[in-house]
Structures are given as structure tokens and as C-alpha cells.
């Protein structure tokens, strides 16, 4: 039988819904704050159990709070996911057809790239090739800005990648629609967009997972085939 949903659980859910996604440290603060305000027993190491209770009550609504990892720094994040419809369908209520087409084409560029990024130049070059309705580059720039604000994309120095929220929400969609290229991290078993790949066997790992896995090894070797890991280990001085 599912644990009882308290006002503390409801507060946690409402705040998370308003944010869409929340970093682990923020979620832990919210957990503590929600319990203290509503005078519910608080255990600092029981956030995942607390969320499981919320999820058991969200299940009939086809919703779930999911935990994921930022591919940039490896920090945990929590996002509220709608399981009843595909994520692209869900986006259709917020964006026009040609905006959605630009997003799909951007996603193609990012997922098919070697490093999990697509340049603004390459994305903007797609704007006047859209089948639904062509976009001017200025208009496309504005749409990309909205995708970043809405946490579907992240941008750094003119390079775009999928936001952590997008990866958490769209993991199944990406794995089923990009079967030939989408891969899971060999360490954390989550979808890996920004990753390093073993030249011998094709095993992929998130950059933060690479950093952690090889931290104590003098000679980095692939966890799958044991061949020498030829990629530069992030965070180590060459």
C-alpha cells in the first residue's frame, strides 16, 4: 500500500511543477523546507523515499518525478515528466509547427554529432530549409533563445546541446527514434549525448562518469573490453 501523501509532499510537488526541473541541492532544501513548514518527520537522507511516495500518487495521472544527471557537471537533477504522451507531442501545445521542426532538426544535429553539440551557424542554416514554413535567421535566433529559456536546449559560446530537462523527459523518445546512434552510458546507464567512446568496442560514457571512473587508475582502460582508453580524461592535466 502506498505511503500517505502529506501537505509536505504536495508542497514539494507544486514547487517542482513551477520550476519544471530542479538541481539536487535545491530539491534537498525544498524537501527539508516542506517537512518543516508542515511539521512532518524529516530525514535528510530520505529524499528519494519522499519522492517515491509522491510518485506512487502520481502514477494514476501518468506522471512521475524522475532523477537525471547534468552531462556538464554530473550533478543530480529532478524533473516532473508526463508519461501519457510523447514529449514532442507535449511540446506541440507550446510551439508552432515550424518551431517544432526547427527543434527536431536541431536535435538531429546534436545527437548525430561527435561531441553532443551543434553550432548556432549550422542550426540557423536550417531555418530557410524548413518544410513547414521557412524562417528568417533573426526569427530562428529568437526561437532558439526560447528553447533555452524553456530548458529544452542549453547554449555555451554559440554551441547548443540538449538541456538536462530535455534528456530526462525525452530519454525514451531519443532511444527509440535514434536507435542506430543513441547510446546509454556504460557507468550510470542513462542516455549519453555528450560522451566519450571507446575506439575499440564503441562503449560510451558521460564525461563526468569518465572522470569519476578513471580517477584512481594509472592507466585508463575501457570497462567493457579492457583496451586502453585513448580519449583525454576530463579534469586531468596533460
b/e burial code for range 86-108 (CB count within 10 A of at least 16 → b): bbeeebeeebeebbbbbbebbbe
pLDDT tens string 70-91: 998 899 999 998 887 666 766 7
Q: What is the rounded CA–CA span in Å between residue 149 and residue 143?
A: 10
Nearest in space to 78 (alpha carbons), one of 197, 209, 167, 158: 167
Residue 172: predicted pLDDT: 86
Q: What is the rounded CA–CA span in Å between residue 204 and residue 141?
A: 32
**Helix, strand or coil for residue 25?**
helix
pLDDT at residue 123 tops 50: yes
Q: What is the rounded CA–CA span in Å between residue 165 and residue 51?
A: 17
* CB-based contact 223:213 (threshold 8 Å): yes
pLDDT tens string 207-236: 999 999 998 788 899 999 999 998 888 765
CATH class of segment(s) 183-237: alpha beta
b/e burial code for range 159-198 (CB count within 10 A of at least 16 → b): bbbbbbbbbbbbbebbeeeeeeebbbbbbbebbbbbbbbb
Q: What is the rounded CA–CA span in Å between residue 203 and residue 50?
A: 34
Say if residue 158 is exposed, middle or buried (CB neighbours under 10 Å; 0-12, 13-18, 19+).
Answer: exposed
**Helix, strand or coil for residue 85?**
coil
User: Average model confidence (pLDDT) for the chain?
Assistant: 90
Domain ranges in the chain?
7-61, 88-172, 183-237
Residue 217: predicted pLDDT: 83
* CB-based contact 77:24 (threshold 8 Å): yes
pLDDT tens string 173-183: 899 899 888 98
Residue 236: predicted pLDDT: 58
**Topology classification of domain 88-172:** Arc Repressor Mutant, subunit A (1.10.10)
Residue 193: predicted pLDDT: 92
Phi then psi dihedrals of residue 198, to 5 deg:
-65, 130
pLDDT band of residue 62 (cuts 50, 70, 90) is confident
Residue 2: predicted pLDDT: 62
pLDDT at residue 237 tops 60: no
Residue 238: predicted pLDDT: 41
DSSP state of 228: B
Task: Read off the pTM.
Answer: 0.85
Amino acid at each position: 500500500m502506498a505511503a500517505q501523501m502529506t501537505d509536505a509532499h504536495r508542497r514539494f510537488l507544486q514547487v517542482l511543477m513551477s520550476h519544471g526541473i530542479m538541481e539536487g541541492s535545491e530539491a534537498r532544501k525544498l524537501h527539508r523546507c516542506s517537512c518543516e513548514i508542515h511539521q512532518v518527520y524529516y530525514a535528510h537522507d530520505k529524499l528519494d523515499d519522499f519522492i517515491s511516495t509522491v510518485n506512487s500518487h502520481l502514477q494514476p495521472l501518468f506522471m512521475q518525478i524522475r532523477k537525471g544527471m547534468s552531462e556538464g557537471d554530473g550533478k543530480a537533477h529532478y524533473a516532473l515528466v508526463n508519461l501519457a504522451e510523447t514529449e514532442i507531442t507535449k511540446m506541440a501545445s507550446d510551439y508552432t509547427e515550424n518551431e517544432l521542426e526547427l527543434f527536431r532538426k536541431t536535435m538531429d544535429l546534436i545527437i548525430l554529432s561527435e561531441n553532443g553539440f551543434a553550432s548556432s551557424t549550422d542550426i540557423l542554416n536550417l531555418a530557410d530549409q524548413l518544410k513547414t514554413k521557412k524562417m528568417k535567421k533573426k526569427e530562428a535566433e529568437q526561437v532558439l533563445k526560447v528553447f533555452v529559456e524553456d530548458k529544452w536546449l542549453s547554449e555555451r559560446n554559440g554551441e547548443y546541446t540538449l538541456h538536462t530537462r530535455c534528456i530526462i523527459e525525452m530519454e525514451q523518445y531519443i532511444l527509440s527514434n535514434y536507435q542506430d546512434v543513441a547510446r546509454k552510458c556504460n557507468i550510470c546507464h542513462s542516455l549519453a549525448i555528450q560522451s566519450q567512446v571507446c575506439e575499440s568496442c564503441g562503449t560510451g560514457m558521460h564525461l563526468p562518469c569518465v572522470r569519476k571512473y578513471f580517477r584512481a587508475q594509472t592507466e585508463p582502460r575501457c570497462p567493457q573490453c579492457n583496451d586502453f582508453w585513448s580519449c583525454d580524461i576530463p579534469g586531468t592535466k596533460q
